[in-house]
Amino acid sequence: MLKPIKKPVVKREYTFLERIYLWEIVKGLKLTWKHFTFNVRASFRPGPHTVPTCWQYPEDRRPIAPIFRGAHYLALDEKGRELCIGCGMCARACPAHCIKVKRGKPPEGQEEKYAGKTICESFEIDMLRCIVCGFCEEACAKGALYLGPDYELAEYEKGPCIYDKERLLANFRKARAEGKLKPKRKPVPVAAPEKKPVGKKAVSPEGKASGSQKEK
């Protein structure tokens, strides 16, 4: 059985003012008054408070960082076309396995608009499982999926927490109307495969022939 550790008791002499308590109470009230007057003055400042103790949410909101990760949206291009081609790379990158993508063809009459490209027939993100890591955003080479600025994600039921394609597009339109779209990501450069000379021996930078030929 463990023995209880005995803490050394530090005895100190209290001053006369400490012993009568009155001065300590005055000191405490002085500090309270200082904070009270500061907060009253802060609450009369116009606009969002600069150094408030409380933010009057939802009226006052802190500005969010440009890299903030909130509710997802699926982007459209300048012509109103969906950028997502349904490749499923985002679903593969998702560590929470909460994305389901089904590739499909553009709706009838819109084949020309998409110039033969595929689109996602259905797109689902289960926000109850999402850990908001942003891997899906990074994995998308088309710059079609973003984690937007909306952070009010609470719902009363589970159903609306599954974001379908319509919801993701609506999130995009909302962010665009509020001027809160994320800056477009540059496409990820993909290294071209190295071309090997055909019919000739590959020559190393030192000028030696490489391959299965044995050195004599």
Residues that bind ligand SF4 (CB under 6 A): 84-90, 93-96, 98-99, 101, 120, 125, 130-136, 139-140, 142, 144-145
The answer to whether 123 and 84 have CB atoms below 8 angstroms apart is yes
Question: CB 56 → ligand SF4: shortest distance, Å?
Answer: 30
CB nearer ligand SF4, residue 48 or residue 104: 104
CB nearer ligand SF4, residue 52 or residue 88: 88
DSSP the chain: -PPPPPPPP---PPPHHHHH-HHHHHHHHHHHHHHHHHHHHHHTSSSS-SS-SS--TTTS-PPPPTT---SEEE-B-TTS-B------HHHHH-TT--EEEEEEPPPTT-HHHHTT--EEEEEEEETTT-----HHHHH-TTS-EEE-S------SSSGGGEE-HHHHHHHHHHHHHTT-PPPPPPPPP-PPPPPPPSSS--B-TTS-B-SSPPP-
CB nearer ligand SF4, residue 99 or residue 175: 99
CB nearer ligand SF4, residue 103 or residue 176: 103
Question: CB 186 → ligand SF4: shortest distance, Å?
Answer: 14
Question: CB 175 → ligand SF4: shortest distance, Å?
Answer: 16
Question: CB 172 → ligand SF4: shortest distance, Å?
Answer: 12
CB nearer ligand SF4, residue 129 or residue 174: 129
Question: CB 138 → ligand SF4: shortest distance, Å?
Answer: 8
